[in-house]
């Protein structure tokens, strides 16, 4: 598997940060501006052989993201993905999925031990900034596909303790947490298993989501955050940073 780079650079939203004259600026100005940013790639897949001679992130190789290319391109932080594909849900496959997840957790920790002078593991948002200030790259761990939880929610605590800071609920195929938007009939998936929100086929039925959240015990304040409050909070924070950067660039 080749390391997949899906770049999400927080702080560069729809021209909020980039100054209008940057396109016409010289390459040295562009490089200087880019190096001032704290750039984050929110999803990088890794192979099971990561941090071994076969897939050494400390050397320039075939992977799209490695420490050499990060330093050259001014990419400061990567979320490294513990991904395990969906299989049939049996006790044996749960055990295999959890073992496969541990291979990747161990690989990420091994990378940090191998290159402590170049990259550190970020456990908190502040760690990303501290590593950046110290001239180091930062790695954050995330999980793709909640299948690695199986039926044991206590594994959330284990994975969090290992550094995982976000987890997507599903991937291709249903699991015991939620339905996938891409069920796999070959794994025995029906069109829907857990049900989710019933009756939200178009925008006219959006109130059904609010009704279902209330039925499930969510507070009105939490529902307000789910529907839009959380997104607005992040947007305002980005706008605040954008304004501060623009002010700093004025002559």
Q: What is the pLDDT of residues 93-126, one digit of tens each?
A: 999 999 999 999 999 999 999 999 999 999 988 8
Residue with more model confidence, 236 or 102: 102
The answer, yes or no, to whether residue 85 has pLDDT greater than 60, is yes
Residues 121-165 pLDDT 10s: 999 888 999 999 999 999 999 999 999 999 998 999 999 999 999
The answer, yes or no, to whether residue 182 has pLDDT greater than 50, is yes
Bridge pairing between strands 137-144 and 77-83: parallel
Q: How far apart are CA 97 and CA 200, in angstroms?
A: 32
- Stated length of the chain: 251
Residues 196-211 pLDDT 10s: 666 776 677 888 888 8
Q: How far apart are CA 105 and CA 171, in angstroms?
A: 19
Q: How far apart are CA 91 and CA 107, in angstroms?
A: 25
Residues pairing with 82 in the sheet: 143
Q: How far apart are CA 181 and CA 238, in angstroms?
A: 30
Q: How far apart are CA 170 and CA 189, in angstroms?
A: 13
């Amino acid at each position: 598997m080749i390391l997949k780079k899906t770049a999400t650079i927080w702080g560069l939203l729809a021209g909020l940060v980039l100054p209008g004259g940057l396109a016409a600026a010289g390459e040295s100005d562009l490089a200087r501006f880019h190096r001032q940013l704290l750039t984050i790639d929110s999803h990088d897949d890794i192979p099971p052989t990561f941090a071994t001679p076969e897939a050494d992130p400390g050397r320039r190789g075939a992977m799209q993201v490695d420490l050499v290319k990060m330093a050259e391109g001014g990419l400061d932080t990567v979320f490294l993905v513990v991904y395990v594909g969906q299989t049939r849900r049996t006790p044996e496959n749960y055990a295999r999925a959890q073992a496969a997840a541990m291979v990747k957790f161990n690989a990420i920790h091994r990378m940090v031990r191998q290159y402590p002078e170049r990259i550190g593991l970020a456990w908190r948002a502040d760690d990303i900034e501290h590593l950046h200030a110290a001239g180091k790259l930062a790695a954050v761990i995330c999980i793709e596909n909640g299948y690695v939880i199986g039926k044991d929610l206590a594994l959330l605590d284990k994975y969090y303790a290992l550094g995982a800071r976000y987890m997507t609920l599903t991937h291709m195929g249903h699991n015991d947490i939620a339905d996938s938007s891409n069920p796999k009939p070959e794994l025995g998936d029906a069109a829907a298993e857990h049900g989710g929100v019933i009756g939200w086929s178009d925008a006219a039925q959006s109130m059904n989501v609010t009704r279902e959240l209330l039925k499930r015990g969510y507070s009105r304040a939490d529902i307000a955050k789910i529907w839009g409050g959380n997104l607005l909070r992040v947007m305002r924070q980005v706008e605040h940073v954008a304004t501060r950067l623009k002010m700093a660039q004025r002559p």
